[in-house]
Structure formats: C-alpha cells, structure tokens
Amino acid sequence: MRLGSVILFVAVCSFTAYYIYEPIPEEIEERWKLMLTNSFFRSLSHLADFSELLGLKDYMGVMYFITLAERVVPVSDVHVKVTEEKFDGVEVVLYQPKQRGGDTELRRAVIYLHGGGWCLGSSRMSPYDLLARKMVTELDAVVLSVEYRLAPAHHFPVPYEDVYRVVKHFLQKGVLAQFSVDPGRIAVAGDSAGGNLAAAVSQQLQKEPGRQIHLKAQALLYPVLQALDLNTPSYQQNQDMPILPRTLMVRFWSEYFTSDKALFRAMMANTHNNAESSSLLKFVNWSAFLPETYHRKYNYSAPAVVHAVGMDGPSRSFADPRASPLLVPDTALHSLPKAYVLTCEYDVLRDDGIMYVTRLRAAGVKVTHEHYDTGFHGALMFTLWPTDFLIADRMTENYIKWLKENL
C-alpha cells in the first residue's frame, strides 16, 4: 500500500511537472512563474474547447471566466474619485484626482481602452483599475476607462463604434470643462485589442472635417493592427508562446468578425484574403516594413488569395481600417498625434507594432518605440500577486513616464 502511494505521488508530480513545463526562452525573466501562470490559461482553454465540443457553452463564454475572476467594484479612495457614467449610452468608469481647496488648474486626460481580444476583458478588472489609479495619481490626470461591448455577442464594428462614440462625446468643450480637462492635453491609450481601438479611433478622428479638439497623443501597448497576414515572423516565431499563442489570437480575430468557424479555419491557414483585401497586402508586407533584424530565418510569402463562399462580409470587415489600422494609406498617417508604441519580442503581435512604427515615422509622425527584448504579450497587466512580474512594473513606469513628458 505504501509503495502504491509513493508511485501514485510520483506519477502525479511527474504529470504536473510535464503539464506545467513549457520550452520558454531562457531570456524571459521569471520563467517558472510564467509557466505556472500560463498553465491556468491553457487549462481554461482546454476546458473551453471541451465545453464547445459538447455544446455546453461556447469557447469565449468559458474563457470569460478570466474577466469575472479579476472583476472588482471600482470605488473612490483617499486620492482618487471614481464614478461610473454613461457617455452617449456607453458605460465608462471615470477616475479623477480628489479636488483640493482652491484647485482650478486644468488637467491632462487619458482615455484608456482595455485589451482582451475584443471578446474578453473589462475596465472593471483589478489590473486595469490599478493602472487607472496610477495614471491619476502620478499624472494628476482624469482617466476615462471605456466598457465597450464585446464580441461574439457584438461583432465588429460594435466595439469600435462604442469607443468612437465615447471619445467624440468626451471631446466636447462642455464635457471637458465639466471635468476640468485641458482640451490640448488629451491622449487615447490601450493594450492589445485596446491598442487596436486606440489606433483606429486616432485615425478616424483626424478625418472629421471641422474638428476643433484633437488628441495630443496615442499610446499603443503591444497593439494588434492587421488581420491580413497572420504568418508574419512574430506569428511564426511565437506561435506557441504563453498567454497569447497564435491559435488564440486567430480565434480572437475570427470571433471579432463572425461566429462562423469557417473563417477561423481559413485564418489559421492564412488563406482568408479575397480580391478586395489582397489589394491592401502591400501595407502589411513585412519584408518592406520590418527592420532586417526581425526577419530572422523567415522568408516573405504573400498570403494566398481565395474566394470562399459566404466569407464576403467578414472579408470586407478585416480589410476595413477601423478593424486593421495598419491598412490606411500613407496620406492618412501624416496628421496623426505623436505616438508611444510598446512591443515585446516574444509576442505574436510584435511585428504589427513595429511595422506601424516604421510607417508612422516615414509619414513624419513623432514616435517613441519601446521594445522589450524579454517581454511577452500581456505582461503589463501582471502587476498583482500572485501573478506579479518585474517586467510589468518596468513597463508601467516607462509608459507613465512617457505620458508625463509628452502630454
């Protein structure tokens, strides 16, 4: 009996070690903590696949547990006043510095858009709540965190339109005066899918004729910027990296546009482009826009162009610059606000951000590019125990420092 217990114990430990261990690059700090953290995400993903296979609950419905597990009720504290509002019908969480007696000075403002692949995430998650409070206290800024509606219940362009409506509402003179915001010191920022929305909104606002109040800055934190080529060097190099493997990113893209699994299968094979989107592939030609050092061992091959029956709607969507901001022509980039772009070496989205940096600089836009050689996707959000990472603190510090100097 005792020998059997020992064998069982060793077997369980061996299986656990086998399941947790991943061949993560040596350069990444706190590798074992990342392995442990990712084992939870992988377990939940496996459960979501199984649930969907059995018809119990769709994949994103199960994965939404991540959002629920970190959800908090934003409340005021000694330094920050927190209120929940609706701007043009869209929920927002508003963070403001506590008023001091006789304080009449106008403040900066940051409109923050959370990540989560347009399907997960919330401004009410604890890491976003903590980040908003840091921006308020360290920048003496008003922070507007947008609770946009999510796919797959609300496909593109609903999440984008929610954000656009909030930003337009906030950029009214009367609204800015109500919250003591300086009209010349407003930024939009976001991470991952939130970076996508921030870039898209920045572009679309510049197209509005007669607009009087403009954004001063945009901060794009490991943003996702294009859906045409899902086989860039970073997608290939990091296809099995923790937190955001290629399969999950492709699933986020497909669910953003449609619940039809045919698109997911086509995007996985990188055969989802049609004649309409193929004309835009020149804007995501990584052999032209990526510095040579990021080409690695990969050779450029243009994505296949096919015509899949029933895919016309989604094809039009992922060729829409409101979904893929990297697809706008150079003429649409010249007037954009200064940008901060954060990229991570071990991230499938690395090349999206770097290609955008290249194109923005070529268009004359002032860009600060912060690349983390040991970074991984989502790192900025790992600031709370037990999943607190040292790199998250550095990212947060550098991001807020840039805002302090440029806003």
Interval 306-350: pLDDT, tens = 866 556 666 678 889 999 999 999 999 999 999 999 999 999 999
For 67-95, b where at least 16 C-beta lie within 10 A, e where not — what string? beebeeebeeeeebebeeeebeebbbbbb
Distance between CA atoms of residues 61 and 58, nearest Å: 5
Look at residue 143 and tell me if it is in a domain. yes
pTM: 0.94
Distance between CA atoms of residues 291 and 282, nearest Å: 16
Look at residue 351 and tell me if it is in a domain. yes
CATH number of the structural domain spanning residue 368? 3.40.50.1820
Give the count of domains, the chain: 1
* Both tokens assigned to 193: 């899918």
List of residues 6+ apart from 330 with CB closer than 8 A: 359, 362, 363
Look at residue 30 and tell me if it is in a domain. no
Catalytic residues: 192, 347, 377
Cis before 152 (ω within 30)? yes
Structural domain of 203: 67-227+319-406
pLDDT, one tens digit for every residue, the chain (407 residues): 464 554 444 344 444 554 566 778 989 999 999 999 999 999 999 999 999 999 999 999 999 999 999 999 999 999 999 999 999 999 999 999 987 655 678 999 999 999 999 999 999 999 999 999 999 999 999 999 999 999 999 999 999 999 999 999 999 999 999 999 999 999 999 999 999 999 999 999 998 888 899 999 999 999 999 999 999 999 999 999 999 999 999 999 999 999 999 999 999 999 999 888 888 999 999 999 999 999 989 999 889 888 665 566 666 788 899 999 999 999 999 999 999 999 999 999 999 999 999 999 999 999 999 999 999 999 999 999 999 999 999 999 999 999 999 99
Distance between CA atoms of residues 160 and 171, nearest Å: 17
* Both tokens assigned to 223: 């943003």
Look at residue 130 and tell me if it is in a domain. yes
Residue type, 377: H
Distance between CA atoms of residues 383 and 398, nearest Å: 14
38: helix, strand or coil: helix
Look at residue 301 and tell me if it is in a domain. no
Look at residue 336 and tell me if it is in a domain. yes
**Do the beta carbons of residue 115 and residue 191 sit within 8 Å?**
yes
Look at residue 9 and tell me if it is in a domain. no
Look at residue 284 and tell me if it is in a domain. no
